[in-house]
Structure 1
Amino acid sequence: MIDVYSWATPNGHKVHIMLEETGLEYRVHAIDIGAGDQFKAEFLAISPNNKIPAIVDADGPGGKPISLFESGAILLYLAEKTGKFLPADPVARYSTLQWLMFQMGGIGPMLGQTHHFRVYAPEKIEYAINRYTNEAKRLYGVMDTQLSKTRYLAGDDYTIADIAAFPWTRSWQNQGIELSEFPNVKRWHEAIAARPAVVRGVEVLSSARRPLMDDKAREMLFGATQYAKH
């Protein structure tokens, strides 16, 4: 049994989708990041960076429990545990890993900043909005070029690179993106969204997430609490 400590965010949905795709047995523990659950001692014990998601696998390597944080590391672990969505062939494997790192180093951080300045920031800063919106368009362009050559990001097979990137593209409208301008991304996005395991994965904890951000949530996510020593 895998215990998943998560919330309905793009990074959380990566792991929810992967668990649904692999068929592993799991149970979800909601970490309400707007309420400050990520700063509780029991969560920090498995995720010292106070970010979701994190997992505890009771049946880890050698049959011993293992805890992991960072969504990319979790995807790699689950892929190796199940032998799914990470090719064994070295060339295909490294192609997958480079696109996974593209998501971890580019798609996630940059689109996260785009969301922040376009949607959540209390002050609309034109420079920041333009900076990150333009970067979002550039990243979609990189994906579109790649997807003009291959069915999926790392090649013709669906991999953890796609599982990592897809949840971030679900909010393309909030990123100032017109998906029709990136037809290959649109084709890829629609194909992944239709997968039954993906449909189930993005529903995990979705009913618990509040659509509006109150003052407490803003403080938990962006205020002094985020930078305090825990």
Structure 2
Amino acid sequence: MADPTYTPPKVWTHDAENGGRFASINRPTAGAREDKDLPVGEHDFQLYSLATPNGVKATVMFEELLEAGFSDAEYDAWTVNIGDGVQFTSGFVDLNPNSKIPTMLDRSGDEPVRVFESGAILMHLAEKFGAFLPTDHTRAEVLSWLFWQVGSAPFIGGGFGHFYAYAPEKYEYPINRYAMETKRLFDVADQRLARSQYLGGDEYTIADIATFPWLAPFVTGGIYNDAKTFLSIDEYEHVGRWAREILDRPAVRRGRIVNKAWGEEDEQLLERHSAADFEGKKI
């Protein structure tokens, strides 16, 4: 056990022995650790991801575009197992210097364009296809909720999720601190969804696509052990209504299993190159 009376040194240094579950990959430096290219498929859009909440944003967006009839949104999705450090290979770092999933290469124009950060990927695709992002006066509302989600995710994941479920020791202060913030964020969403069907208003948009993968797993009890009970998630009835409605969308059911590398085999799709890849999968 770490000393609860820990006093920070004058100058911090990295200790590879600490860090718990992610100690083997976390370092205080950026850049490639291995010279290796990424696989490339035939479609204009190449997605390198994992079915974490941030990764699901991108795959759901692609599947929603295809569901809406945008055939040019066909994509190749490649699983990046962050536990194995694939995000630190030279090919991945060339696309995302921050070494985080998801990242994407758009080859549909005259020059290839890299897009990293999940919110940027959603905006890029929404603007490219003219879908799920309004152009009227409600655009600002949608973007406000999108960036609300992007800004709040670290409190839920790296904050609550890490200290409650992943940290090698359990300490009361950080768990209380981030449990409080996570519940506050749920209350923000719940109050908004009491007044509108979706976060941005009456239409389903990238604000919902971004937020759903973070909030819905708490509603279903599929994230951070027994976090649903610990945080009394059933209190947020409007978030629950919204999450269940989105869970029923065919594109969401497909997008949730793309690049998924855990759970039942019929709920995993490590690579996605066409709609036929979903055959035999539980969606």
Check whether TM > 0.5: yes
Which of 252, 262, 266 aligns to 1:209? It is 262
Match of 2:267 in 1: none
1:38, 1:56 → 2: CA distance? 15
| SS of residue matched to 1:8 | coil
| 1:210 to partner: Cα distance | 7.3
1:168 is aligned with what amino acid?
A: W
Q: TM-score, normalised by structure 2?
A: 0.71
Q: Does 1:150 align with 2:199?
A: no
Which of 244, 253, 258 aligns to 1:190? It is 244
2:86, 2:99 → 1: CA distance? 9
State whether residues 72 and 164 of structure 1, in contact with CA within 8 Å, keep that contact through their aligned partners in structure 2: yes
1:111 is aligned with what amino acid?
A: I
| 1:209 to partner: Cα distance | 3.5
Q: TM-score, normalised by structure 1?
A: 0.87
Number of residues of Structure 1 aligned to a counterpart in Structure 2: 206
1:198, 1:100 → 2: CA distance? 18
2:149 is aligned with what amino acid?
A: Q
- Larger Rg: 1 or 2? 2
| 1:8 to partner: Cα distance | 1.2
Higher normalized contact order (CA 8 Å, seq sep 6+, divided by chain length): 1
2:206, 2:213 → 1: CA distance? 12
- How large is the Cα RMSD of the aligned pairs? 1.3
State whether residues 78 and 259 of structure 2, in contact with CA within 8 Å, keep that contact through their aligned partners in structure 1: no
Superposed counterparts of 1:57-68, under 5 Å = 57-60=106-109, 63-68=110-115
2:97, 2:259 → 1: CA distance? 22
Q: Which deviates more from structure 2 when the two are superposed, residues 64-73 or residues 171-180?
A: 171-180
1:55, 1:209 → 2: CA distance? 22
Which of 89, 92, 102 aligns to 1:43? It is 92
State the Cα deviation string for residues 159-212 of structure 1 (Å, max 9, x = none).
Answer: 000000000013314343333201110000000011000000001122x2379x
Superposed counterparts of 1:129-148, under 5 Å = 129-148=175-194
Superposed counterparts of 1:1-230, under 5 Å = 1-23=44-66, 24-60=73-109, 63-89=110-136, 91-106=137-152, 108-112=153-157, 113-172=159-218, 173=221, 174=224, 175=227, 176-206=230-260, 208-209=261-262
State whether residues 151 and 188 of structure 1, in contact with CA within 8 Å, keep that contact through their aligned partners in structure 2: yes
| SS of residue matched to 2:202 | coil
State whether residues 54 and 102 of structure 2, in contact with CA within 8 Å, keep that contact through their aligned partners in structure 1: yes
State the Cα deviation string for residues 144-172 of structure 1 (Å, max 9, x = none).
Answer: 00001110001010000000000001331
1:166 is aligned with what amino acid?
A: F
1:209 is aligned with what amino acid?
A: W
Between Structure 1 and Structure 2, the one with more helix by share is: 1
2:263, 2:194 → 1: CA distance? 37
1:47 is aligned with what amino acid?
A: N
| SS of residue matched to 2:104 | strand
1:142, 1:170 → 2: CA distance? 15
Query: What residue ranges of structure 1 are gaps of 5+ in the alignment?
Result: 212-230
1:43 is aligned with what amino acid?
A: F
| SS of residue matched to 2:256 | helix
State the Cα deviation string for residues 68-87 of structure 1 (Å, max 9, x = none).
Answer: 10000010000001111000
